[in-house]
Structure 1
Amino acid sequence: MVDRSRRDVLKFSGAALGGIAVGSTVTVAERTDRFIVDAKGKTDADDLSKRGLDVVHDLSQLGYFVVEGAEKDVERAKGKYAPDMVISLDLPTDRVDVDAGDQSATDEPFYGFQWDKQVQDIPEAHETTRGEGARVAIIDSGVNAGHPDLAHAVNEELSANFTGDGQGAANAAGGYHGTHVAGIVAANDRNEAGVVGTAPGAEVVDCRVFSATTNAAFGDILAAVAYSADIGCDVANLSLGAYPVSRKGNGKFYGKFLNSTMTYANSKGTLLTISTGNDGADLQHDGPVYALPVEGAQGCGVSATGPVGFGYGGPDLEEAFDSPSNYTNYGTNAVTVSAPGGDYDPAQPAGWYYDMVLSTISEPAYDDDGDYLGAVNSYSWIAGTSMAAPQVAGAAALVKSEAPDMNANQVESLLKRTATDGTGGKEYHGSGFVNPVGALEEL
């Protein structure tokens, strides 16, 4: 429990409303000018170009292409196809932000508020490794390399923009979300400022798939997954999703494309850590629909847990740190492990937002034409399965740092085997609550 004297030095801006982070979808739409082509050797990029199609992503290593053009031209190409899917995500309308201006504590001054790192015993894990040598892709809205808690970690040369918006990578051009996710993985533990990441010694690659519109194309996301595997990422984190997507019609096509991509990444040694989503849905008994990508093959699905009462000042929690969060999707078919994602109960006394996850944030600014101008760096509490998945990505990075020869399946198996029993059933925790120290001790 954080003592009240340290809490009182913080200032907050904005309304005292909790934000559920990216992970739930409000709209799934199909584009009319962009298509996914299942080629499987029946066509190639040159043939598609000759038919008047612009090849956006050449995924011939998977047997697929993402193209733009008229459907009549796609129809004349060889191979099955479906419209690319656009995912519109439910971003929070408010967060609880930190003004660190009056903070004068040494070391990492906000660690006392990071119940998520405390319950995972991250400082003890760092006695073994800080994640040196591991590489983690963040497939998201952009990771701002200019954030002082992430400047040490972001590989700007390998970072890539998959959106086609021309606004670069290693920045927050698609929103604040990716920087928050990246801080959970790799925030600097040695700069005497801000917060602590699970694997601050790991390298982070920004794979930006969202623009300022908050929309992401399914083809862009899977192209980023394939790229992460091709550049040797040990882990790729996907704190995003589409739900519900029908398993019929084009849904079958999307599922096949997803499974091919995820299997490819797994074969290259890249573990995919994926948020289960924030709909409070039972993914095992929800009928003939998908939650994508978490219900794809070879992924490590992560549900969210969180306390209720961490910041109230009393000795007892109303809900334990490993209790399922009120919004988390669940189901034994989708959840591999659980991890801290944050919880909240605004009806409780002041300080309820301390039950969410504190991490880095970069708030983007744009000109009147929508061009990215830069970002204001700070810290913020947010809750969501989006915050849970990178906890597991960080744990996997620690394991790979100590055991670089382990493949993706072996890393996932170790995390599952060493996970601890969580409050609630297997439908919420899968194999259990992630335990980085336990995983390292078993190596």
Structure 2
Amino acid sequence: MTELSLHRRRVLKAAGGSLGALTLGSSLAAGDSTQRFIVDSKGLQNDDGLEIVHDLSPVDLLVVRATEARLDDSRAAFVSDRRMARGPYQPVRQDRFEYPEEGTDLFGYQWDKHDQGVPEAHEITRGEGTRVAIIDTGIAAGHPDLDGQVDLDLSKSFASDEYGVGEPYGGAHGTHVAGIVAANDRRDGGVVGSAPGTDLVDLRVFDAVLSSRGRQDLPPEYWGETWMGSVIAALVYAAEIGCDAVNLSLGWTWEMRSEGWGEFWGRVHQRVGNHARRRGTLHTHASGNWGESLQFNQDETDSSQTAGGITTSATGPVGFDPETGNYEEPPYSPATYTTHGVGAIDLAAPGGKGGDSKYDNVVNTVAYPNFAEDGAYLGTDYGYGWFAGTSMAAPQVAGAAALVKSANQHYNSNQVRTTLLRTAEIPDDYEKKYYGRGGYLDTAAALQE
């Protein structure tokens, strides 16, 4: 990671918001929990001896703590919940930006928003009347470009700590994602989001980065962990509060490929995805950053395929010059790190190239937490940063979905999805596997239908 100076602003106030139970994250890795389980409540005869962590009655599921013997006696279908650390959804490159003087306009660095015709789109709508949830590491609601953009009353923590919401307790990732969706375009300077008129909801699932204590040079494994069941709980909650879009720059398809998870998790994801669709909520997923092809069988399918979500691969320019706006390769050229596959990807979107030049990556809001040795929260360092990853591509789609919904309030989630896919195109001279069912996102075209 390139270390650049970051303007330090201490925010000593505690963030508000209701507390949930536990966590999940940007991808892979630990082992099965021996005490946390996902239970199909349809077959549960009684819940004696079960500590309910999340009651997901809208989809007939429970997240519980219990002994396996107790669940065996219940005759209900269940599977061990999984604790996960960040993995192939971690941005492939992160560069810090020297904090500019107040009022410095950074829009010239945002090739992604220029390419998507965001200024033209805002002549039609800025996303007013819509709501987008960010399931991630937490949003820094006090960042100058996000101040007033986050609905803290509806925001909720599903992490296993008690730090709440409205701050980047789990790291900078969620703030960057949130800025891509809805950074304010009506202030002097800073960056612009695709749908600055939407209401953001902070659904934090990653645990606080206590081990970093303000250090920014630690590897991804120190960036918090979570539980798969907590992400599912956040998805159900987002649908229940009427979110038009939910962004998951963390993915959940990879875990489903683990031995023994296929059939049960396939049913879980179908229920959650179908519930979201019925409630008018569109899921936007990052496809992953391990550069391989995603192929699914019937039991290894994510909610984009079963219930009308959108899984997104990443693209980016080569040689972008912010002074002239020129580049050697266009913004729609595929990133080498992006996971792909004709049957797995729905859209490609700007996520950054991930190469040597930071200007070829996506610049937006960042915020880093600071903790004392005893875990006391000391405040946040605000700034801007260039990130690259499918994590940056998915919120481009979430922002575009908010714009389409805002301009067409009668649309359901499937109509929003169909519009985004129908107006996308596969660029000449590039392989379809990088663009999937739809092609390369065209935000301005989606609004002009």
TM-score range (shorter-chain normalised) is 0.7 to 0.9
Which one of 114, 131, 134 corresponds to residue 135 of structure 1? 131
Alpha carbons 1:140, 1:177 under 8 Å: kept: yes
In structure 2, relative to structure 1, the CA distance for the partners of 1:312 and 1:144 (3 Å cut) is closer
Alpha carbons 1:222, 1:261 under 8 Å: kept: yes
2:164 is the counterpart of 1:175: no
**Superposition deviation, residue 26 in structure 1:** 4.7
Matched residue count: 411
Q: CA separation in 2, counterparts of 1:58 and 1:341?
A: 35
In structure 2, relative to structure 1, the CA distance for the partners of 1:298 and 1:29 (3 Å cut) is farther
Give the letter for the 1:300 counterpart. I
Q: CA separation in 2, counterparts of 1:113 and 1:296?
A: 37
% identity of equivalent residues:
44
**Superposition deviation, residue 85 in structure 1:** 1.6
**Superposition deviation, residue 61 in structure 1:** 1.4
Structure 1 unmatched runs, 5+: 1-10, 15-21, 347-351
Alpha carbons 2:36, 2:65 under 8 Å: kept: yes
Structure 1 residue aligned with 2:272: 261
2:310 is the counterpart of 1:300: yes
Q: CA separation in 1, counterparts of 2:232 and 2:394?
A: 17
**Superposition deviation, residue 407 in structure 1:** 0.6
In structure 2, relative to structure 1, the CA distance for the partners of 1:289 and 1:256 (3 Å cut) is closer
* TM-superposition CA deviations, 1:258-287 (whole Å, max 9, x none): 1211111111100000010101010028x8
Structure 2 residue aligned with 1:5: none
Structure 1 residue aligned with 2:180: 184
Alpha carbons 1:241, 1:293 under 8 Å: kept: no
SS of match in other structure, 1:100: coil
Give the letter for the 2:260 counterpart. G
Q: CA separation in 2, counterparts of 1:280 and 1:94?
A: 14
SS of match in other structure, 1:182: helix
2:62 is the counterpart of 1:62: no
Mapping of 1:38-77 within 5 angstroms? 38-40=40-42, 42-43=44-45, 47-48=46-47, 50-51=48-49, 53-77=50-74
Structure 2 residue aligned with 1:8: none
* TM-superposition CA deviations, 1:86-108 (whole Å, max 9, x none): 22113459721112344654xxx
Q: If the length of structure 2 is used for normalisation, what is the TM-score? A: 0.86
Q: If the length of structure 1 is used for normalisation, what is the TM-score? A: 0.87
Structure 1 residue aligned with 2:5: 13
Give the letter for the 2:432 counterpart. K
Structure 2 residue aligned with 1:235: 245
2:438 is the counterpart of 1:427: no
Structure 2 residue aligned with 1:215: 225
Alpha carbons 2:274, 2:306 under 8 Å: kept: no
SS of match in other structure, 1:95: strand
In structure 2, relative to structure 1, the CA distance for the partners of 1:203 and 1:65 (3 Å cut) is same
Which region of structure 1 is more displaced relative to structure 2, 305-314 or 324-333? 305-314
**Superposition deviation, residue 370 in structure 1:** 3.2
Which one of 28, 31, 40 corresponds to residue 29 of structure 1? 31
Q: CA separation in 2, counterparts of 1:293 and 1:13?
A: 40
2:223 is the counterpart of 1:224: no
Q: CA separation in 2, counterparts of 1:299 and 1:315?
A: 33
Alpha carbons 2:36, 2:81 under 8 Å: kept: yes
SS of match in other structure, 1:67: strand
Alpha carbons 2:317, 2:329 under 8 Å: kept: yes
2:293 is the counterpart of 1:246: no
Alpha carbons 1:275, 1:294 under 8 Å: kept: no
RMSD of aligned alpha carbons: 2.4
Alpha carbons 2:121, 2:444 under 8 Å: kept: yes
In structure 2, relative to structure 1, the CA distance for the partners of 1:238 and 1:12 (3 Å cut) is same
* TM-superposition CA deviations, 1:175-229 (whole Å, max 9, x none): 1110000000000001112100000010000111111352121110011111000
Q: CA separation in 2, counterparts of 1:32 and 1:371?
A: 30
**Superposition deviation, residue 31 in structure 1:** 1.0
Structure 2 residue aligned with 1:166: 162
Which region of structure 1 is more displaced relative to structure 2, 370-379 or 187-196? 370-379
Q: CA separation in 1, counterparts of 2:169 and 2:271?
A: 29
Q: CA separation in 2, counterparts of 1:100 and 1:237?
A: 27
**Superposition deviation, residue 293 in structure 1:** 6.3
**Superposition deviation, residue 42 in structure 1:** 3.4
Structure 2 residue aligned with 1:112: 108
